[in-house]
Copies of this chain bind each other. A is one copy, B any other.
């Protein structure tokens, strides 16, 4: 009876027209690993500290090595700072990421950060002994309080280590998994989404990949490939007597992780970050007050401390004429939008605490809207 869930392109659309990587995922950037821990436990009335639990952890590893010893060049951009992500100021100052990037529900952040320290210390036992430098724990979050026992902070050490241990290249599970478990996007079930684009620099192919945790937006604003899907579905829901579904507080956020193997410097990565909100706009966002929107970007091939400062054709081209970034800007915008859409088409309906339910985006009706607006032939 429920829709079969799918990726957005399986609806028949090709947003933006640029080629994607083989998995259309952030893991198309060589070396990147993604892992999830998903916690779905209990049902019924909220008992803080017990459940129901609808939360999780997602880990994005820029490479499989020791990141504390071999950081990657990076940048962050805070589009709307109404959020609790940690680890930002050091990325801004030094232009590098030195731990896995962890994503989770808001109130889990401290426990997840503490577990991330465990992980880094186990890998680098000299910290606090011979090495006085401390790891810059980087943890992003969205608010999963609508479905989840928020106060309970159920994600910690076990969940973090499991997410990192399960991190792998290749396909990335999307929807209500990992950090996306309890999330809501445009009033539908949201969560993890990913996408990628291939770009050509100096005649060589590079990849730009995106992974988002989607948890923002007002139902009526949802737009897919230009079609006013949210408005049309709200009307349809009214007609079906399902109008209450769309009612929800717009207290969301979005975490956007961008990765590339192109040899971008941190200033250039920062410029790429700033294009991510344009992708959000394509999905309908009006930049709600309550939405903490954070963008993190890194280059897997630029690892300053390890002596990796590519001076290849692409790096030279970008220095000589930075308009070569335009292809990457476009890729960032489009992959951010598609990742959000993927989070919606993949996520299944999920219930949570106190009878709260987030319904999946109805794909059949969505397809009708896309046809009505000429997106599908």
Contact = CB atoms under 8 A, between A and B. Distances in A.
A64 interface: no
A81 B90 contact: yes
A288 interface: yes
Interface in A300-334: 304-305, 307, 309, 311, 315-316, 319-323, 325-326, 329-330, 333-334
Contacts of A372: 374
B278 A134 contact: no
Interface in A35-78: 46, 48, 78
B110 A326 contact: no
B329 A132 contact: no
Contact of A129 (B46, B88, B249): B46
Contacts of A153: 114, 117
Quick one: copies of this chain in the complex?
A: 4
A163 to B, nearest CB: 16
A366 interface: no
Interface residues of A, number: 96
Interface in A64-102: 78-90, 92-95
Contacts of A334: 286
Interface stretch (A238-246, A264-272, A341-349): A264-272
A171 interface: no
A285 interface: yes
Given A281-B282, A320-B305, A289 B325 contact: yes
B150 A128 contact: yes
29 contacts: A48-B128, A78-B92, A78-B93, A80-B93, A81-B92, A84-B86, A86-B109, A88-B88, A90-B292, A106-B134, A109-B110, A110-B112, A128-B151, A129-B150, A133-B251, A134-B150, A226-B227, A227-B374, A250-B323, A266-B267, A277-B278, A277-B281, A281-B282, A286-B334, A287-B329, A305-B321, A307-B316, A309-B315, A373-B373
